[in-house]
A = this chain, B = another copy of it.
Amino acid sequence: MRNVAIVGASGYTGLELIKILINHPQFNITYVANSTGNTTVKNLHPSLDGVLDIEVVKVDAKELASKADIAFLALPHKTSMGFAKQLVELDIKVIDLSADYRLELDTYEEHYCPHEDKDNLKFSAYGLPEFYEDQIKNCKIVANPGCYPTATLLALLPFVPYLEKDANIFVDAKSGLSGAGKKLSDTTTFVNASENMFAYNPFKHRHAPEITEKVLELTDIKANINFVPSLIPVTRGMLVSIYVTLEDICDAKQILKEFYANDEFVRVKENPVNIKDTSGTNFCDIFVEQNGNALFINSSIDNLLRGASSQAVVNANLMCGLDANCGISKIAYVP
């Protein structure tokens, strides 16, 4: 059994980490922290009353290092890198759910802020296990991908080599409202969100450069990603629709099937995917349909799990030499 720490326990991804790790056969939660401390898991998340009664302390790197070997950081970007740096020095394996180690230095500084841990940035791994398994196994910091890039990259990457050069790639990505986090806002009230739907930041979302960068890194192709996120009246879940133009006619369904033939957490589907079938799981479901040279690629994930916390635990499993699926649920919440 390894001892693990969760830092940033108050939010939705913090809660999901706790929910997974409580039952993990190889990890033992020994340290839970948030920015204020002085509370308990049960106070933060009343649904865990009678399940886990553990103190939540104010985060402190040394204390953490005295109690755990692995740390999950569910912190805002910028805060995260300051803290991760200390943990690496203390020889703690870090799975960082923020944006801080996801991007190349230049891209990061253009879209976020000056980077404060450039040394570790170089040696971090991007935590998309289907594509970076070796790096994940051998790094000190895993940069856990955002939910939009996870669902988009898994759907898009099999087809990048077949696309018309320089043509636009359109990503229409719909997220459940838990993706907006716990911070109160007019946008996410029930009255405004229920029976409603709307795009936000079209072509300007910070996850677009993350997608572009990883496509380039993995395929050597500069993709014209045009990314439009929307919020849908759903608590958890994400549905991504990608529209692209093929260079040559190919058998898209066959390409997809072969590409993921050995990946247990990607399911290639014969019908358009839906949100409920992946909700509660680490699965990414993908479907593709072709119309001449036009392609519709369609993926679904649980934004809080495959898009955050369960993928983080898969990454921790790999860092520790465990099976990728150790302690990871495949059973959807449906109905």
Contact = CB atoms under 8 A, between A and B. Distances in A.
A1 interface: no
Nearest to A329: B23
Contact of A170 (B177, B192, B194, B243): B243
Contacts of A277: 46-47, 49
A294 interface: yes
A283 interface: yes
Size bin of chain A's contact surface: 35 or more
A215 B31 CA distance: 46
Contact of A191 (B45, B188, B198): B188
A236 B199 contact: no
Contact of A197 (B198, B203, B232): B232
A230 B241 CA distance: 10
Contact of A50 (B197, B276, B330): B330
Contacts of A298: 199, 202
A186 B199 CA distance: 23
B172 A47 contact: no
Given A168-B294, A199-B241, A226-B296, 5 more contacts: A48-B332, A49-B267, A197-B275, A228-B241, A232-B232
Copy number in the complex reads 4
A291 interface: yes
Given A189-B189, A277-B46, A174 B197 contact: yes
B188 A185 contact: no
A239 interface: yes
A262 interface: no
A196 B264 contact: no
Given A191-B178, A195-B195, A241-B172, A200 B235 contact: no
A50 B267 contact: yes
Interface string A156-187: 00000000000110101010111000101110
Contacts of A320: none
A276 B47 CA distance: 8
A224 B295 CA distance: 12
Interface string A235-249: 111010101010000
A195 B296 contact: no
